[in-house]
Amino acid sequence: MSAHSIAFIGTGVMGRSMAGHLLKAGHTLHVFNRTPAKAQALLEAGAHWHDTPGAAAAQADFVISIVGFPADVEATYFGAAGVLAHAQPGAVLIDMTTSSPLLAQRIATAATAKGLGSLDAPVSGGDVGAREARLVIMVGGDAAAFVRAKPLFEVMGKNIILQGGPGAGQHCKLANQISIASIMMSWCEALTYAQKAGLDPARVIESIGGGAAASWSLNNLAPRALKGDFAPGFYVKHFLKDMRLALESAGAMQLSLPGLAQAKKLYDEVERRGWADSGTQVLLRLYAEQA
């Protein structure tokens, strides 16, 4: 794989590991993050700091972003000091934030008008998947841009599929989050029931974690939660954002999703209790307190 100059915008829990893999693969990395301290390890490893997203983009043939919320994506791409105003001609813009499908389509339209490639490529796999370079990457956008970007995706992930045109990656990620929303409730309810019945929840996982009830969340997040480890692999505040986006998108399609709606109510209560900066597995704490 030939080396590229890559702008990487957003070096939080996920982005820091993803950018690190690209740096180790021999690419030149230009980084921006709103909190400079979160990019320090990358800078010490050889990445170059820039004061704005646009300044980083001006140095790169690929621009990758993974930020918090759609408003952050909007500012990153459409702001005066943003990517679209400063990207090199012919560059490929890749937003890996879980964001709005409509916003992904807007970015694609603006990018095309400027002679730029554009992909929406949200990911699944959490902090562990990012660290171990085995993320699921769901991509929307132009097929030619996807072919150009795929070698970079392969540095960060294992399951990489072009789902369709602009916005298709975001729709696929929202489908992923819709499924996870009910899965989170399912194992919390199962383990709360088991504990109330006098069982050891950890031993229950040993029994049910390999059969039809198994899920990644049951086998990875539930053990953390049982130990009182609520550190974020994926923040509650970001999961709530994803559920809002999914409900908005479903509403626009006149689609009722009662499981998603119930999960959103529960996580609203989690947020109300001040746990929005915890990992999503903190939902078990809510069930335990209500029990």
Give the active site residues. 173
User: Cα(62)–Cα(281) distance, rounded to whole angstroms?
Assistant: 34
Helix (H) or strand (E) holding 28: strand 28-32
Concatenate the DSSP letters of all residues of 134-194 into one string.
Answer: -EEEEEEE-HHHHHHHHHHHHHHEEEEEEEESTTHHHHHHHHHHHHHHHHHHHHHHHHHHH
Structure tokens at 178: 């819709």
**11 in Cβ contact with 67 (< 8 Å):** no
Neighbours of 35 (CB within 10 A): 9
- Spatial neighbors of 215 by CB under 8 A, at least 6 apart, are 183, 186, 187
User: Cα(160)–Cα(80) distance, rounded to whole angstroms?
Assistant: 32
How many helices (H) and strands (E) the chain has is answered by: 14, 9
Neighbours of 193 (CB within 10 A): 14
Question: Alpha-carbon torsion 134, 140, 143, 149, what sign?
Answer: negative
User: Cα(271)–Cα(129) distance, rounded to whole angstroms?
Assistant: 25
